[in-house]
Amino acid sequence: MFAYIARRLLLMIPTILGIMLISFVIVQFAPGGPVERVIAQLQGSDTAAASRIGGGGGDFGAGQAQPGGGADAVTSRYRGAQGLDPAFIKQLEKQFGFDKPAHERFFLMLKNYATFNFGKSYFRDVSVIQLIREKLPVSVTLGLWMTLLSYAISIPLGVAKAVRDGSRFDMWTSAVVIVGYAIPSFLFAILLIVLFAGGSFWQIFPLRGLWSENWDQLSPGGKVLDYIWHVALPITAMALGAFATSTLLTKNSFLDEIRKQYVLTARMKGLAERQVLYGHVFRNAMLIVIAGFPGAFIHAFFAGSLLIETIFSLDGLGLLSFESIVNRDYPVVFANLYIFSLLGLAVNLISDLTYTWIDPRIDFETREV
């Protein structure tokens, strides 16, 4: 097992390198960039942008492009740069690191990321690691609780549907599951806001944030209740649309196992149905359900929470990544990509190790990675 874990850890290195390289190349060909964004802000009389440029922001518009091929070459590379001092454009390029060749910037980024040195945000004047640390509690809350809640619903429901396959219970719960799967989570979120957050009916739950303004003055029990009060609606909205897939997966997995010969043999030996179901079938049927856990967790942790974070004004990593992509804040974009890639690979490894814990007959040591 240790050899298998070592191989998987070593394979993470080329995987991360490939993800970062492909993303870096795509960014090089993507239109726009941080330099163009600052130029657009300055040309739009956004004087606040000048203060973000170290050393010379005060006279960003004082000089004009100097005559000659060199000045024209500098300004012509960027849309809207005509009329700006070429020296200022070069200062912008140096500020954002674009004065170096692309391959040199890539290897410098890898060197820094190997020690989790993500640098500073281009436009927020704060370190990237501090930004991620500030947004992490929101994403952890949404991802973890939504995954746990959806599995807590889907596994018992899937087992009940498999045991009662073809019954009236199975049919109407399937209809509920299909409706839940078909309706996006953000529509559930809007419905919950309208019903329970002061939209048109009751104002029972708060509309924004993870805790109240008087959080520090609350008792430990009061903090727990306040936390649950704030996350109830967003987590419910995410879970309502997330448990459908795992429910049907659990049901089909149990049906496949129930029809196997060893289940018939266990029943012929006189074992009670509950012993057969939870003593024999459950362990084997849950393997395929566990296989879907990493994807479900990563989806909930990042992509699945973006719209929910926006609707409920929760400032998490999903919203941070989206805003950073729009604003061309590359240090934040690549840092989030790097962290989530590592997280996804680590969770997949943990999932494989969980296989062996549930079913010791599985031995990854004798298999190829």
**Based on the domain organization, do 170 and 95 belong to the same domain?**
no
**Based on the domain organization, do 95 and 144 belong to the same domain?**
no
Q: What is the dihedral of CA 158, 163, 165, 171, to 10 degrees?
A: -50
Q: Looking at residue 21, what is its pLDDT?
A: 93
More confident residue, 202 or 292: 202
Distance CA 178, CA 39 (A): 49
Supply the range of the domain harboring residue 60: 33-114
In the predicted model, is pLDDT for residue 237 greater than 70? yes
Which among 150, 162, 165, 177 has a CA at the least distance from the CA of 282? Answer: 162
> If pLDDT is split at 50, 70 and 90, which confidence band does 217 have?
confident
Summarize pLDDT for 17-41 with one digit per residue, the tens: 999 999 898 887 777 777 777 777 7
Q: Looking at residue 369, what is its pLDDT?
A: 45
**Based on the domain organization, do 65 and 134 belong to the same domain?**
no
**Based on the domain organization, do 105 and 251 belong to the same domain?**
no
What are the backbone dihedrals phi and psi of residue 265, each rounded to the nearest 5 degrees, phi first?
A: -65, -45
**Based on the domain organization, do 234 and 328 belong to the same domain?**
yes
Kindly state the average pLDDT of the residues 2-16: 86
Summarize pLDDT for 320-355 with one digit per residue, the tens: 888 888 888 888 989 988 988 888 888 778 777 776
> If pLDDT is split at 50, 70 and 90, which confidence band does 53 have?
very low
Instruction: Look at residue 27 and tell me if it is in a domain.
Output: no
**Based on the domain organization, do 205 and 329 belong to the same domain?**
yes
Instruction: Look at residue 17 and tell me if it is in a domain.
Output: no
Distance CA 10, CA 24 (A): 22
Kindly state the average pLDDT of the residues 40-61: 47
CATH of residue 253's domain is: 1.10.3720.10
**Based on the domain organization, do 236 and 344 belong to the same domain?**
yes
**Based on the domain organization, do 233 and 187 belong to the same domain?**
yes
Kindly state the average pLDDT of the residues 207-236: 83
Instruction: Look at residue 19 and tell me if it is in a domain.
Output: no
**Based on the domain organization, do 86 and 149 belong to the same domain?**
no
Under 8 Å CB-to-CB from 332, ≥6 apart: which residues?
A: 121, 122, 124, 128, 131, 320, 321, 324
Under 8 Å CB-to-CB from 338, ≥6 apart: which residues?
A: 16, 20, 113, 118
Instruction: Look at residue 83 and tell me if it is in a domain.
Output: yes
197 beta partners:
203
Total of domains in the chain: 2
In the predicted model, is pLDDT for residue 51 greater than 90? no
Domain boundary among 67, 90, 114: 114
Distance CA 335, CA 321 (A): 9
Domain boundary among 82, 114, 146: 114
Instruction: Look at residue 356 and tell me if it is in a domain.
Output: yes
Q: Residue 259 has which token pair?
A: 């029809």
Instruction: Look at residue 143 and tell me if it is in a domain.
Output: yes
**Based on the domain organization, do 170 and 224 belong to the same domain?**
yes
In the predicted model, is pLDDT for residue 63 greater than 80? no
Q: In whole numbers, what is the pLDDT of the chain averaged over residues? A: 77
199 beta partners:
none
Kindly state the average pLDDT of the residues 235-253: 81
**Based on the domain organization, do 311 and 248 belong to the same domain?**
yes
More confident residue, 41 or 221: 221
In the predicted model, is pLDDT for residue 253 greater than 90? no
**Based on the domain organization, do 106 and 133 belong to the same domain?**
no
Helix (H) and strand (E) counts in the chain: 16, 0
Residue length, the chain? 369
